[in-house]
């Protein structure tokens, strides 16, 4: 069997980002070790070393599509938080939504 030459995204692409893990660490005080093998956005099992959170590095098209959708879905969810009594300003929510949509565009573009 030939090795898969593609670079994939973790199925939980948003949670795999270093900034997400850093935020989780600051809230919980620790973050569990990342697994060596992950399920990718295209549904296969791959070594973490064969995944990336950088859109420019991901060569698997189904994974790029998956990441694009995941970032758009999260942006939509955050957008719905406006006016929900959050302790986050509307400007901060707008900035988060903008950044997520930019990431989606980078994966989808």
pLDDT in tens, 9-42: 999 887 665 555 555 455 556 555 566 889 999 9
12-49 burial code (b ≥16 CB/10 A, e <16): ebbebeeeeeeeeeeeeeeeeeeeeebebbbebebeee
The encoded tokens of residue 103 equal: 């990431």
Domain ranges of the chain: 13-108
Higher-confidence residue: 59 or 34? 59
The mean pLDDT of the chain is 82
pTM for the predicted model, two decimal places:
0.79
């Amino acid at each position: 069997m030939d090795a898969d030459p593609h670079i994939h995204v973790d199925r939980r692409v948003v949670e795999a980002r270093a900034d997400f893990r850093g935020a989780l660490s600051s809230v919980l005080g620790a973050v569990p070790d990342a697994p060596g093998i992950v399920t990718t956005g295209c549904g296969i099992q791959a070594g973490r070393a064969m995944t990336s959170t950088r859109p420019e590095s991901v060569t698997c098209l189904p994974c790029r599509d998956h990441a694009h959708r995941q970032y758009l879905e999260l942006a939509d969810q955050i957008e719905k938080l406006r006016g929900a009594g959050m302790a986050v300003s509307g400007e901060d929510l707008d900035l988060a939504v903008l950044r997520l949509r930019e990431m989606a565009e980078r994966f989808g573009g």
